[in-house]
Amino acid sequence: MTTVTWTADEIMTVTAARSLRDRMACFVGIGLPSTAANVARRTHAPGLWMIYESGTLGAVPGHLPLSIGDGILAETADTVVSVPEVFNYWLQPGRIDVGFLGAAQIDRYANINTTVIGDYDAPKVRLPGAGGAPEIAASCREVVVIMRQSTRAFVDRVDFVTSVGHGAGPGDRERLGLTGAGPMRVITDLGVMEPHPETRELVLTGVHPGVDVAAVRAATGWDLAVSDDLALTPEPTTEELAVLRELTGSA
């Protein structure tokens, strides 16, 4: 019997890190996206060019930044530019390969909510808000989303569309004038989802070791479709776990 030496959060983060390739330009969100991007840079993608919303281009932080304003980002960046330049020159013209985002809610078409839970005018919870996520979701060549899975987070329809994923289905991004491909992979602590090429609805394409399809579907707020070619996530390597645990202080 194999002894499990990693946690659900760890395999989620490592799987997300593996979705990044060397020499990509990556617009990084704080939290889980930042952890995954820094794992990728320290393992298989040493040339990953990380961009944070504060205007730091090519940051190579020695520890995980606490926010986009963490001094370690400016101290280690190739250069620091104004926030308008980040968005107007780098992001909107499509110069960023991948945007890495988290979310409070996501729906079957990968629309993201980071604004409110409940009615906008009388919310149950008011969330941090949009930040740069709408522009990232609109203009990056592709988007990867990383978040823990539950029926509270994976809902049939988000309470508020902060960042458009695939709208209500095929053609919506084009109709809205969004130039990027949108969310192409959603990575959770249970598995991996990708948009169906025709319907654009999220489909379960992979599960992590020890997770069965029923558990993933039970943690999803809609009738989740499952790919005929369902993959099993490779376990984290010793190197990946060592780097991740060093970054998070859990070594």
CB 140 within 8 A of CB 169: no
CB 49 within 8 A of CB 77: no
Active-site hit among 53, 135, 201, 240:
53
Question: How far apart, in whole angstroms, are the C-alpha atoms of residue 248 and residue 251?
Answer: 8
> How would you classify the pairing of strands 79-80 and 142-146?
unpaired
Task: Locate all alpha helices (DSSP H) within 90-237, ordered by sequence.
Answer: 133-139, 172-176, 213-218
Rounded to whole angstroms, how far apart are CA atoms 117 and 123?
6
Radius of gyration from C-alpha coordinates of the chain = 18
Query: Phi/psi class of residue 126: alpha, beta or left (left: φ > 0; alpha: ψ in -120 to 50)?
Result: beta
State the Cα–Cα distance between residues 200 and 177, nearest whole angstrom: 17
Query: Strand 142-146 to strand 123-126: parallel, antiparallel, or no bridges (unpaired)?
Result: unpaired
Catalytic residue at 53?
yes
Are residues 62 and 39 in contact, defined by beta-carbon separation less than 8 angstroms?
no
Active site residues: 53
